[in-house]
Chain A
Amino acid sequence: MTMISKYASFMRINFKSDIYYIYSYLLSILAYAAYPILMLIVWSSIFSGTTATSIAGYSPIALYAYFFVAYAGASMQSGVSEAISSDIESGSITSELILPISYAIRQFIDSLPSAFTNFSFVFLPIVVLTAVFAGISMSWFTIAAFALEIFLLFSISFLIEFIIGVSSIYLVSTGGISSIITLLTFLSGGVLPNTFFPQQLQTVLQLLPFNAYYYNPAATFTGALAGTALLNALVVESAWALALFVFATVYWKMSRGKIIAVGG
């Protein structure tokens, strides 16, 4: 109980900090809605210049809905690697490690308030508005699958970010790795739905964890990912989440003994 209350304190502090910078949240909404708005404008112009009613299986409305939900989902991504790298680079991790709490769990707990506020103020409003405007109705099974995908999105992004952050113990800078991962996630449905790409590339992307970031949640929402394909996607995502969890746990245990810090 005492342990839970300790972590709860961190959560409370972070939540207050998030709410304090309310302008950042208003800007976040703008940021997450801006790219879909851009795509709406670009693809409206493209659809108006062609007789095709759908492209790569997407009608104009479905395509716009895809982009809005994909980018709302992006608000649920964790950005913990920067905080861990900063702790390691500055040496302040030594002060963190002597606290009577787990550093790894602390990072997870620290991420939750942001995830909660992003979910409440960015993700949910965008998804609900998109469903209303695009006239999308989902079965209970699809809603459950969609909710699970959002949970897996947060979990997978947190674990990948955690692994990158811990890599700071071995690397001088992790900026390069982070940028490659960001690009891979962007490739996995951030630029266009995967169905726009050649079949071979789609197959490779389906096997990687990065589809969890943009494509799977947005395609589930629009109905492009359904039935067996949806179940397969959930299995692949869950397997990746589990594998990343095991790897992150082992990697952290192996690496924390190698921390060398001056000052802090």
Chain B
Amino acid sequence: MAGKINKLMSELKFYLLLQSYAWKIQFIYRADFIMYAFTSAIYIIITLVFVGVIYTVTFSVAGWSYFQLLLLIAIAGLGINISDYLIDSGFVFDVLWNGGFDNYLTKPHNPLLYVIGESTDTAAIGDIAGYLILFVYAAMNTQFSAPALLAFLILFILGVAVLSMLQVLFLAISYKFINKAGWVGLIIDLAENFSRYPLTLYGIIGVVLFTIVVPLGIATFYPAGIIVGKLSLAGYLVVIAIGVILAFMFYKLSKYLLRSYTSAMG
């Protein structure tokens, strides 16, 4: 047990080291970083304008008020961008596809953690910061209790973990069956757009799709629902259970599919 904890701590330390390298690299591309941050800021403004336009002609969208919808959009943006920050699916796929994974297998660390750590997308931090500001602004205009905030945090963290595991699973599927990874980003982008609105808008098919098949809802709709009081305690517990099961399933399935990795480098 102690050995396992030591190993875990060692991997965590190594991951943090990779994070510090990723940030050092990012600061070499300072102008680029500033432009990404600028883009994020404009995108948030566009979102505010868009939602503002919608609410000039209606009082609610699927029963969600202006600030509630802003909160949902902020949570969706945070969840997806944190997941993007953690894993750059294009980078990891290229490593697998070009046979570069061999290098990682020779290192005394978990190879998947190593390649994921190296794929950190630091540019996503601009979006994360922007959505965080939007979240605070929307939350200040929404009433919620401290336990609701705690419940939100637990579900949100689980949701981001599920989302990250889903990206790894998609990569494994790409590697094993499709030979291209462009669709991973595409599916996530599409799902991101849909997860910015209440899932109930899409009927039962949409709810099932975004809760189980592409479970973005676990990181977006349901955490927002618990804050604004639209998710009951029973519903909350069911979503937690689904999240845990999916994260475990995605992990096991990814591990199984990645067993087919074969060396491609000399």
Question: Which A residues are closer than 8 A to B by beta carbons?
Answer: 21, 23-24, 27, 30-31, 34-35, 38, 41-42, 45-46, 49-50, 52, 55, 171-173, 175-177, 179-180, 182-183, 186-187, 191-192, 196-197
Question: Which B residues are closer than 8 A to A by beta carbons?
Answer: 28-29, 31-36, 38-39, 42-43, 46, 49-50, 53-54, 57-62, 123, 178, 180, 182-183, 186, 189-190, 193-194, 197, 201-202
A21 to B42, CA, bound (A): 34
Least distance between A246 CB and chain B CB atoms (Å) = 26
A23-B183, A50-B57, A191-B50 given; A38·B194 CB < 8 A: yes
Name 11 interchain pairs, CB-CB below 8 A, sorted by A: A27-B182, A34-B193, A41-B197, A49-B58, A52-B57, A172-B31, A176-B34, A179-B39, A183-B42, A187-B46, A192-B50
Q: Are A192 and B186 within 8 A (Cβ)? A: no
A23-B183, A34-B193 given; A192·B53 CB < 8 A: yes
A125 to B180, CA, bound (A): 25
Q: Are A34 and B190 within 8 A (Cβ)? A: yes
A22 to B226, CA, bound (A): 42
A50 to B43, CA, bound (A): 28
**Residues of chain B with a CB closer than 8 A to A171's CB:** 31-32
Chain A, Cβ-Cβ closest to B203:
A41
Least distance between A201 CB and chain B CB atoms (Å) = 9
| 11 additional A-B residue pairs with CB within 8 Å, beyond A42-B54, A176-B35 | A24-B183, A30-B190, A31-B189, A34-B190, A34-B193, A34-B194, A46-B57, A49-B60, A179-B36, A179-B39, A197-B49
Least distance between B10 CB and chain A CB atoms (Å) = 33
**Residues of chain A with a CB closer than 8 A to B43's CB:** 183
**Residues of chain B with a CB closer than 8 A to A21's CB:** 180
**Residues of chain B with a CB closer than 8 A to A173's CB:** 29, 32
**Residues of chain B with a CB closer than 8 A to A179's CB:** 35-36, 39
A227 to B123, CA, bound (A): 44
A171 to B33, CA, bound (A): 13
Q: Are B32 and A176 within 8 A (Cβ)? A: yes
Q: Are A45 and B61 within 8 A (Cβ)? A: yes
